[in-house]
């Protein structure tokens, strides 16, 4: 049987048994590690004491050499007599390891003195000893220990460094003649002097102690404790299982079963709400998209209208400038006509004066003619004496007649000029009046053109403001469309999460062994009607319970519906989307305060 098919009670019992077991195993492991560490510490202290005892013996022998109890002459004497044992007995290191080895078997340890290039083959170091000697030499260590896994033993090393006494046999070979009476660099034991220096490390005292007895003792203690723990765990598991079965059944399973039943009902409501919100969000997104397209077309039209308005304003400004120029020309023509009228008046006045002069000339010519007639009469009376005077009189009379005739012709011309001057004055007056009317009309047209130009500018500014407002509305609409798409995606995700919640509820019911309500989510969905105007497949949201915030629903509804805006039917159970936003969480998924009271 798989673990996920176990009931909650079985899992709790299993967990209550497994966790203490794991804890006890961990504690046993820590106890064994701590016990082994203590054993290693005790063995290390024991080995240190043994090595310190050997070093004490060596120091005592060194003191004897310094006091003169031993000398090179004695060693030469022992060598000449073949007494190698006495020679070795005077060596401090040899005396030290002999003292440590005498009680090795009784103390339960093995004592060795490994060294590089030993004279005694038994002191040749094995790989572990060689590694330990190199480590101590490289790191300048006084002591070192290592566990030999192959023999399950602790191997403790204490460094042995050369002293002045050691150099008697291991020093400079050139001193062999002075010390030992030979020039071959050989000491009394027959070994070659190695030319070592004071303080060098060439070997170490080693104490080897087996861990078999300590491990066996630890295993026996752990075995006894294990039996006691197993029996205790059995009794504890039995008591814990009995307690859990009763407590879980009454304090956990029943409240969780009730919660599962409520969650199963509320999750279906959540799924319906998510479906309705998703449908409304899609409709809102479609409407926002259409509105955005319309606003783009409106913005393009307004842009074109704004361009035409700016063109009209420019044309009106040009027309106003042309009218202003025309008005200036008309005023100039009016002034010219006034000067021309004054000139014609002057001409008429000159013509009148000339006519007066011509009348005077005509009268003079008439008088001259009369005088010529009188002179001719007098000449005729004079006879031959007045013949010349008669000729002159006749010529004067002829001149007077011609002057009179010219005066009459000139007078006629002057009269005709006077009439023409009078007509010119009248025509100039008429032209002046017409020009005055033209100037007044041009002034009115200029004023109207200025007003049209100002109005065109204001209209262009208004169109620009409208275009800017439409652009902002377009941006807001596109933002609303994007938000609607996000809301639709969130609603679909919420619907998926509601489905996952249903699955988790069923798994939880299977875990605790509770039974779900007989009605299914599909049956609840099939019992609801579609909202009027909704898309196919969308479900209305469940009506709010009595006492809900009706004021929020009314405030969320729009004050006036614009043409083309789709509104939800008044009788729809879901209401508008804005009204749904006013819901609280406990209205969509209601919970009772006592749902978790017993949990």
* Least confident residue range of 51-55, 98-102, 312-316, 528-532: 528-532
The pLDDT value recorded for residue 354 is 81
What is the 8-class DSSP label of residue 524?
H
Give this prediction's pTM.
0.40
Q: E strand or H helix at 335, and its extent?
A: helix 254-382
131: confidence class by pLDDT, cuts 50, 70, 90:
very high
More confident residue, 30 or 373: 30
pLDDT of 395-441, one tens digit each?
Answer: 787 887 887 788 778 878 888 877 787 787 788 778 878 878 887 88
Distances (CA, A) of 531 to 175, 257, 275, 549: 119, 34, 12, 22
Which tens digits make up the pLDDT trace of 347-362? 877 777 887 887 788 7
φ/ψ (deg, to 5) at 112: -135, 160
Cα 186 to Cα 79: distance, rounded to the nearest angstrom: 12
- What tens digit of pLDDT does each residue of 198-236 get? 888 889 999 999 888 888 888 888 888 888 888 887 887
Determine which helix (DSSP H) or strand (DSSP E) holds 161, and give its type and residue range. Answer: strand 153-161
- Residue 111: name the closest of 119, 128, 123, 121 by CA: 123
3-class secondary structure per residue, 409-442: HHHHHHHHHHHHHHHHHHHHHHHHHHHHHHHHHH
Predicted local confidence at residue 141, as pLDDT: 92
pLDDT at 459 over 50: yes
d(CA 241, CA 227): 21
Q: What are 542-595's pLDDT values in tens digits?
A: 333 334 344 444 334 334 434 343 333 333 334 444 344 444 444 444 445 454
> Do 525 and 272 touch, CB atoms closer than 8 A?
yes
CA distances, 64 to each of 58, 69, 142, 175, 545 (Å): 10, 5, 24, 22, 110
d(CA 157, CA 159): 6
Who contacts 249 (Cβ-Cβ below 8 Å, separation ≥6)? Answer: 9
Q: Please name the residues in contact with 53: beta carbons below 8 A apart, sequence gap of 6 or more.
A: 99, 100
Give the C-alpha distances (Å, rounded to integers) separating 341 from 84, 159, 237, 419, 434: 171, 147, 139, 15, 14
Question: 3-state class of 204 per DSSP?
Answer: strand
Place of tokens 């599909």: 522
Average pLDDT over the chain reads 76
Give the Å distances, CA to CA, from 160 to 61, 516, 524.
Answer: 14, 83, 93
Reported as a single tens digit per residue, the pLDDT across 509-555 is 766 666 666 544 444 444 443 333 444 444 443 333 334 344 444 33
Which pLDDT belongs to residue 155? 92
Length of the chain: 599
The model's confidence at residue 315, banded by pLDDT at 50, 70 and 90, is confident
Closest CA to 280 of 528, 582, 566, 570: 566
């Amino acid at each position: 049987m798989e673990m996920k098919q176990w009931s909650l009670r079985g899992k709790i019992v299993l967990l209550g048994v497994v966790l203490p077991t794991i804890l006890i195993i961990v504690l046993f492991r820590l106890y064994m590690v701590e016990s082994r560490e203590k054993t290693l510490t005790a063995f290390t202290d024991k080995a240190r004491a043994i090595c310190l005892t050997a070093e004490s013996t060596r120091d005592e022998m060194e003191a004897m050499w310094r006091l003169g109890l031993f000398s090179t002459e004695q060693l030469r004497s022992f060598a000449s007599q073949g007494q190698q044992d006495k020679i070795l007995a005077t060596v401090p290191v040899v005396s030290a390891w002999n003292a440590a080895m005498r009680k090795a078997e009784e103390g339960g340890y093995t004592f060795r003195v490994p060294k590089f290039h030993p004279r005694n083959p038994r002191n040749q170091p094995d790989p572990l000893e060689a590694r330990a000697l190199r480590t101590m030499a490289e790191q300048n260590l006084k002591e070192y220990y290592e566990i030999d896994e192959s023999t399950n033993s602790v191997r403790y090393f204490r460094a042995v460094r050369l002293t002045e006494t050691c150099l008697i046999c291991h020093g400079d070979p050139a001193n062999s003649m002075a010390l030992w009476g030979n020039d071959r660099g050989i000491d009394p034991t027959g070994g070659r002097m190695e030319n070592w220096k004071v303080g060098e490390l060439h070997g170490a005292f080693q104490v080897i102690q087996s861990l078999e007895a300590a491990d066996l003792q630890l295993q026996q203690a752990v075995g006894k404790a294990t039996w006691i723990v197993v029996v205790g765990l059995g009794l504890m598991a039995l008591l814990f299982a009995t307690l859990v079965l009763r407590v879980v059944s009454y304090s956990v399973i029943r409240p969780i079963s009730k919660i599962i039943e409520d969650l199963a009902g509320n999750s279906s409501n959540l799924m319906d709400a998510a479906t309705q919100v998703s449908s409304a969000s899609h409709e809102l997104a479609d409407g926002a998209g259409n509105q955005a397209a319309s606003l783009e077309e409106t913005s393009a039209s307004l842009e074109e209208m704004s361009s035409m308005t700016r063109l009209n304003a420019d044309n009106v400004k040009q027309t106003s400038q042309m009218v202003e120029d025309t008005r200036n020309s008309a005023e100039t023509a009016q002034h010219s006509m006034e000067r021309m009228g004054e000139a014609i008046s002057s001409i008429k006045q000159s013509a009148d004066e000339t006519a007066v002069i011509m009348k005077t000339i005509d009268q003079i010519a008439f008088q001259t003619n009369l005088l010529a007639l009188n002179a001719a009469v007098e000449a005729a009376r004079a006879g031959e004496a007045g013949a010349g005077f008669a000729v002159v009189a006749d010529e004067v009379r002829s001149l007077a007649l011609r002057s009179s005739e010219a005066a009459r012709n000139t007078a006629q011309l002057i009269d005709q000029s006077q009439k023409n001057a009078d007509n010119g004055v009248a025509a100039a007056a008429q032209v002046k009046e017409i020009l005055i009317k033209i100037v007044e009309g041009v002034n009115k047209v200029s004023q109207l053109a200025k007003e049209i130009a100002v109005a065109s500018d204001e209209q262009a500014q208004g169109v620009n403001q409208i275009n800017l407002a439409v652009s902002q509305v377009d941006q807001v609409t596109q933002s609303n469309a994007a938000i609607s798409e996000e809301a639709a995606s969130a609603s679909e995700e919420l619907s998926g999460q509601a489905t996952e919640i249903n699955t988790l509820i069923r798994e939880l019911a299977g875990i605790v062994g509770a039974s779900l309500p007989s009605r299914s989510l599909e049956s609840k969905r099939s019992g609801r009607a579609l909202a009027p105007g909704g898309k196919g497949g969308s479900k209305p949201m469940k009506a709010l319970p009595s006492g809900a915030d009706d004021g929020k629903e009314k405030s969320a509804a729009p004050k006036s519906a614009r043409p083309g805006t789709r509104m939800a039917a008044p009788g729809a159970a879901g209401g508008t989307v804005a009204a749904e936003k006013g819901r609280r969480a406990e209205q969509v998924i209601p919970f009772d305060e006592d749902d978790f009271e017993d949990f």
